[in-house]
Amino acid sequence: QVQLVESGGGLVQAGGSLRLSCAASGRTFSNYAMGWFRQAPGKEREFVGAINASGGSTYYADSVKGRFTVSRDKAKNTDYLQMNSLKPEDTAVYYCAGGKGAGYSPNPTGYMYWGQGTQVTVSS
């Protein structure tokens, strides 16, 4: 079956960086987009960024544009979310999500499979 396994979360000071990884198995990795979402306590899950199936295009929420970067390593069946210049408001549980097709979606309903989530905490 399809599995998405996340790693890389943790505690960091404001202005610092973290890189999240999402290792995929169970289907042809390069045929599907991958999205990244986050959910803070008491808030709805929100779109962070995404990469299309080929890895040639990326998309970001305005709140993270210029600070976060999504990338894909097809040889490792792994996607990454590089987060720089982190702010306390970036604190949340972060999820990777496997798309239904080659294109991305900013909506959680556009994804079929979800990672287990990883906590990111940014202290001020």
State the pLDDT at residue 28. 84
Contact, 13 vs 123, CB < 8 A? yes
pLDDT band at residue 68 under the 50/70/90 scheme: very high
pLDDT band at residue 105 under the 50/70/90 scheme: very high
pLDDT digits (tens, 9 = 90+) for 2-61: 999 999 999 999 999 999 999 999 888 889 999 999 999 999 999 999 999 999 999 999
Report how far residue 12's alpha carbon sits from residue 4's, in angstroms, rounded to the nearest whole number. Answer: 24
| Residue 87 pLDDT > 90 | yes
State the pLDDT at residue 115. 97
